[in-house]
Structure 1
Amino acid sequence: MAFGRSPGHVAGLPREAFRPSPIFLGIVALFIVSGWMTWTGFGNVQIDVFLFVAAGWTVSLCLHEYAHALVAYKGGDHDVAHRGYLTLDPMKYAHPLLSFVLPVVFLLIGGIGLPGGAVWVNHGAIRNRFTDSLISFVGPATNMVLAVVLVVPFALGLDTGGDPAFWAALAFLAFLQLTASILNFVPMPGVDGGNLLFPWLSPQWQRGFNHVAPYGMLLLIALLWSPVINAWFFEVVFAFGDVIGLPSSLVGDGLDLFRFWS
């Protein structure tokens, strides 16, 4: 999710501004280790799945925000590097509500991948409207690419080895990427899909957009509480899943394993 306007400036940037942070590398390590634990059935398989999915989701969140920041940097806003957005550190993308509360709540109770974080972009520094739109596009596009990558083993018939819980967890993680991508492509103010359209709107429409944008994600979440819209949303997600080869039967198994407390 990329939004906001900040005063940008260009200055000498240390290499540390572009290196993956220790926090991100630690999360990647947890993802790999918990994946091995899930694959081998080491210890409590439900705890293994929880750690594997939670760590994988956090890695994807960092990549989502990094994609926004990288395109913004290439497009002229060098302030994103000063803010630490190019280090993949999830704490740099922090927004108390968007980064932690809502994504965790929706993941735990609804099995929906709701991207958190926030990359503040100085849109005045971006060279053209196309690049401005591309900044918003690449975030959810990253989730879609990750979803495709995660289902490749299923498409190649590699899902025969290891503990079955591993494949259920992988399917559920791919499902989360799809939900995140589709939600973020909704053309609503305050969501990447709406921000993608913003540079092409008239000044009058942009003013109206800015009034709604702070509440856009909350409005989208409220809509998902409607049984009709919720059912329609999941139909769309599973339809996309069928297109890319996501085994829908394993998604529910992955969710059940992930929610070890139920």
Structure 2
Amino acid sequence: MENFLAYSLKEIPYVAITLMIAFTVHEFAHAYVAYKFGDPTAKNQGRLTLNPIQHLDPIGTILIFIAGFGWARPVPVNRFFFKNPRIAGISVSIAGPISNFIMASLGFMIWYAIVGMGLAAGVPAFVPEFFNVFIHLNLVLFIFNLIPLPPLDGYRIVEDLAPKSVRPRLTQLEAYGSLIFIILVITPLSQYTISPIFYYVLPVIGDMLGNFFSGIFL
């Protein structure tokens, strides 16, 4: 069975707990920033909450266990309410990935604080294992969601940054977005498109954060 999973059976509980936290905070961040910019849509639909049930997407959650990455239910955003749609749109889109980066940073900070205080030897074995999964998954979600493919946050950011003359063309491409996404992410082509990003970018970011917090607490 483990051959079909991206994580070992031992790690599954840590992954499940991390997903509930990471997906929930990610979508809450989108909803909160949208609300602060004047859009009550997510709030009115019950998405301005830290209740995981309101945010988890069955397929996106299952894919995390199988492929190592996935998604939650997208927060509805109505740009009509934004006074400055471009700035507000970018802020709302980037809020989710940034929340995952912050959670990964908090994971590093808490763990190195434990180590720095000399408490690491006394904690149960599952504690460092959980922090490892928690940090890793949040960094995966941070990087994955910044990929400029619809319907990911990275695409929305590019869409808002693009000149007005280009946006209609991007909108036309969205019709094929899901198909392009599946081809590049789920098929064997991912070995040449998405996977290299995680193989090269994720370790670099992880090492940078690890070195930063170890330098503070150790």
Instruction: Quickly name the TM-score band, shorter chain normalised.
Output: 0.7 to 0.9
Alignment partner of 1:146 is 2:108: no
Q: How does 1:239-250 map to 2 (within 5 A)?
A: 239-245=204-210
| 2:67 matched residue in structure 1 | 110
Which stretches of structure 1, 4 residues or more, deviate above 6 A after TM superposition? Answer: none
Distance in 1 of aligned mates of 2:35 and 2:170:
24
Counterpart of 1:115, as a letter, is W
Q: How does 1:1-262 map to 2 (within 5 A)?
A: 49-93=11-55, 99-105=57-63, 107-112=64-69, 114-128=70-84, 129-156=86-113, 157=115, 158-213=119-174, 215-216=176-177, 219-220=180-181, 222-224=183-185, 225=188, 226-229=190-193, 230-245=195-210
Q: Which one is further off, 223-232 or 168-177?
A: 223-232
The Cα offsets for residues 21-64 of structure 1, whole Å up to 9 and x where unpaired, read as xxxxxxxxxxxxxxxxxxxxxxxxx66x5333302211211110
Q: 1:215 to 1:234 in 2, by over 3 A?
A: farther
SS at match of 1:85: coil
- Higher relative contact order structure (alpha carbons within 8 Å, sequence separation ≥ 6): 1
For the 8 Å contact 1:147–1:175, the answer to whether it is kept is: yes
Give the percent of matched residue pairs that are identical in Structure 1 and Structure 2.
26
Q: 1:178 to 1:108 in 2, by over 3 A?
A: same
Distance in 1 of aligned mates of 2:181 and 2:203:
19
Distance in 2 of aligned mates of 1:218 and 1:198:
18
For the 8 Å contact 2:39–2:77, the answer to whether it is kept is: yes
Distance in 2 of aligned mates of 1:218 and 1:103:
19
* Structure 1: runs of 5+ lacking an equivalent: 1-45, 247-262
For the 8 Å contact 1:189–1:210, the answer to whether it is kept is: no
Q: CA RMSD in A?
A: 2.4
Distance in 2 of aligned mates of 1:236 and 1:164:
28
Q: 1:218 to 1:146 in 2, by over 3 A?
A: farther
Distance in 2 of aligned mates of 1:60 and 1:80:
18
Shift of residue 146 of structure 1?
0.4
Equivalent pairs counted in the alignment come to: 194
The Cα offsets for residues 224-258 of structure 1, whole Å up to 9 and x where unpaired, read as 44323314422211111111118xxxxxxxxxxxx
Q: 1:130 to 1:61 in 2, by over 3 A?
A: same
For the 8 Å contact 2:18–2:133, the answer to whether it is kept is: no
Shift of residue 116 of structure 1?
1.7
For the 8 Å contact 1:190–1:212, the answer to whether it is kept is: no
SS at match of 1:86: coil
TM-score by length of 2: 0.78
Counterpart of 1:124, as a letter, is F
Q: 1:87 to 1:154 in 2, by over 3 A?
A: closer
Shift of residue 189 of structure 1?
3.4
Shift of residue 148 of structure 1?
0.7
TM-score by length of 1: 0.66
Q: 1:162 to 1:215 in 2, by over 3 A?
A: farther
Counterpart of 1:87, as a letter, is T
Distance in 2 of aligned mates of 1:148 and 1:218:
33
Shift of residue 139 of structure 1?
0.4
Distance in 2 of aligned mates of 1:124 and 1:118:
18
Shift of residue 204 of structure 1?
3.9
